[in-house]
Amino acid sequence: MQGPQPATAPGMPYGSPQQVPGAYQGAGNYGFQAQPMGFPGGFVAPPVQNQPTMDGTIWMPIPPSIPNCPPGLEYLTQIDQILIHQQLELLELVTDFETNNKYELKNALGQRVYFAAEDTDCLTRNCCGPSRPFTIRITDNLGREVITLHRPLRCSGCCCPCCLQELEVQAPPGTTVGYVVQNWHVCLPKFTIQDEKRKDILKIAGPCVVCRCCEDINFEVKSLDETCAVGRISKQWTGFVREVFTDTDNFGISFPMDLDVKMKAVMIGACFLIVSLSFTNR
């Protein structure tokens, strides 16, 4: 089943599609064909039959069960990009007190796919800042926890190889499907996506200087030899006022439609690790 195809918005051009050998043949095969990359600047109106809930949220229709697919990841078989919106917390805005972060994960039509919530204690959040360990629980529209992200406590800073960060992705909770490992580099933020057996699958490379200066910030997802573009994780510019006075951000993830759903889940985890390392102020 093919998911909806997003339209290209002005000012957000797609990257040139590139071919990577080995088409996806099912769970456990990480071959893929790279897709055009880019994120729409606005949402396309969802189909009429998808009526909003009481709070105005429109949910993505529940897909049928798929053999050998972790429960709850069936949604990922139908989409090639996810938009992540961090919710604005009034307490943080008024008091500068750090609360558990919450996020909506939507498809290109603006339909909610998942909801993510950080689960850390008050002392850890407000004392450890960007270095804090965390657990993020990602639930589907039925309230089932389908993905769990664990970041252990490690000293912050990429200048020393012993301080590199790592994140474990479980889907469903208790079953590890992959890891995101920070790589040491003198100036670039770099990461490796691994499967459940710690085998390297993909590479991620960010810009030399993470600068919040009126533009999107892109982290390119590439093949292991870094010659082919596979996807992208983007921090989207949200406007001067919101960037300066709040720590809420919008992110986009693009990946090949036929990429293994487990690796799609690990790319979601990679986005949250990048958020915590590069875009969390406190």
pLDDT tens digits along 69-88? 999 999 999 999 999 998 87
What local confidence, expressed as pLDDT, does residue 46 receive? 40
H-type alpha helices, 96-200: 122-128
Q: What is the mean pLDDT of residues 181-195?
A: 90
Q: Are 217 and 263 in contact (CB under 8 A)?
A: no
In this structure, what DSSP letter does residue 169 have? E
Tell me the pLDDT of the chain averaged across its residues: 76
Least confident of 60-69, 97-106, 158-167: 158-167
pLDDT tens digits along 192-247? 999 999 999 999 998 875 555 667 889 999 999 999 999 999 987 654 444 444 45
Q: Which residue has the higher pLDDT, 146 or 19?
A: 146
Domains and CATH numbers, the chain: 73-278 (3.20.90)
CA distances from 210 to 187, 214, 229, 234 (A): 10, 12, 20, 12
How many residues are recorded in the chain?
282
CA distances from 157 to 22, 149, 186, 240, 273 (A): 37, 20, 11, 27, 13
Q: What is the mean pLDDT of residues 6-27?
A: 40
CA distance 128 to 156: 9
Confidence of residue 141 (pLDDT cuts 50, 70, 90): confident
CA distances from 108 to 8, 26, 184, 254, 257 (A): 10, 24, 34, 10, 13
Q: What is the mean pLDDT of residues 186-197?
A: 91
Which residue shows structure tokens 């998808």? Answer: 50
The DSSP bridge partners found for residue 117 are 102, 137
Confidence of residue 15 (pLDDT cuts 50, 70, 90): very low
pLDDT tens digits along 94-140? 555 567 789 999 999 999 999 999 887 666 656 666 667 889 999 99
What local confidence, expressed as pLDDT, does residue 204 receive? 96
Question: Which segment, 16-25, 53-62, 255-264, is predicted with the most confidence on average?
Answer: 255-264
Query: Reduced to 3 states, what is the DSSP secondary structure of residue 183?
Result: strand
Taking the complete model, does pTM exceed 0.85, yes or no?
no
Which residue shows structure tokens 């088409």? Answer: 23
Least confident of 7-16, 86-95, 264-273: 7-16
What local confidence, expressed as pLDDT, does residue 153 receive? 75
Q: Which residue has the higher pLDDT, 132 or 171?
A: 171
